[in-house]
A = this chain, B = another copy of it.
């Protein structure tokens, strides 16, 4: 029951159908063109300050049988989206896959096929998945801190939730749609946002009262963060002018988590400007921290080493900080976890590590 105007989405979808229709009218072989979605085709957009797709494109054309099926599916999907907008429903990507059972020849053969088409449709129309009323299985993450959120609920009522006073100790759960028609920020008295990889560390900072003592908003990333979590952080940061620091484990997979928050993910580079927070800074745990704080470590696996090497050629990791840290880690042959700081006791992370690192980064309590 969100009072959003979907007319621009419907226009986009209609013009897509019109394009295919016109191709047929002109007796051209119908086709759609979209950018190549790979590491080799992302480049830095200096204006938006995020990584976007480059010039390379691929064509989905009815010249091949696979291409023809894909176009047919696109038309069915467009129809399904228009129907959902009309009856005010949304669908998971998984449900959409099963819905296609009724699409005859256009039926999807794998979930991967249907997920990919949803992304293609975003790229082609410049709309977002949320505009299509499609949503993922992924859970949104949790938030604790001095910020008031107003949520438009499923019953079409506005509900104000303060993320310390109105929630239990598990915090506020981020819904799958965090667009302005769904949630708005109604004031915050925090100085910065800490995005945290693991639930254990999120709960540690909450138990130790770091949100109060350091005027911070804690956001649990839950590993590779869901789209709604990244979008939430972006809006929270932009609209309230708050710096974002990212606190993860010390391994190549965690650096990708940071990159997806700060620079945009490769899969979603077409909407980086909605999801990425270019001002987000990486706090740690860094390979230098392993040495400086004498942290417990594990050996890098072969997969870790390959991932680190791949990051050395990833355009998002080309600055001197990342090149230096990644090379140091390859030299050390070690990785570590944020909870390894418990080596020095349960309060060490909030009493010593975070204050030291934040001071280094120039983020101190006002």
Contacts and interface: CB of A to CB of B under 8 A. Distances in A.
A154 B209 contact: yes
Contacts of A95: 200, 204, 339, 342, 346
Contacts of A346: 84, 89, 91, 95, 99
A103 B91 CA distance: 52
A172 B94 CA distance: 24
Interface string A81-121: 00010000111101110110110000000000000000000
A281 interface: no
B151 A176 contact: no
A199 B154 contact: no
Nearest to A102: B343
A170 B140 contact: yes
A200 B95 CA distance: 8
B138 A199 contact: yes
A248 to B, nearest CB: 14
Number of copies: 2
Contact of A175 (B98, B153, B166, B170): B170
A240 interface: no
Between A89, A140, A154, A204, the greatest number of chain B beta carbons within 10 A of the residue's beta carbon is seen for A154
A96 to B, nearest CB: 8
Nearest to A345: B99
A94 B203 contact: no
Contacts of A166: 159, 161, 166
Q: Is the interface of A mostly helix, strand, loop or mixed?
A: mixed
Given A137-B200, A140-B170, A170-B174, A98 B296 contact: yes
A35 to B, nearest CB: 29
B342 A91 contact: yes
Nearest to A99: B342
A222 interface: yes
Contact of A171 (B169, B173, B200): B173
A337 B170 contact: no
A285 interface: no
Interface string A195-210: 0001110011011010
A151 B169 contact: yes
Given A139-B199, A168-B172, A173-B170, A98 B154 contact: no
27 contacts: A89-B207, A90-B207, A91-B342, A92-B203, A95-B204, A95-B339, A95-B346, A98-B337, A98-B342, A99-B342, A137-B198, A137-B199, A139-B139, A139-B170, A139-B199, A139-B222, A140-B170, A153-B169, A154-B169, A154-B206, A159-B168, A166-B166, A168-B173, A168-B175, A170-B175, A170-B176, A173-B173
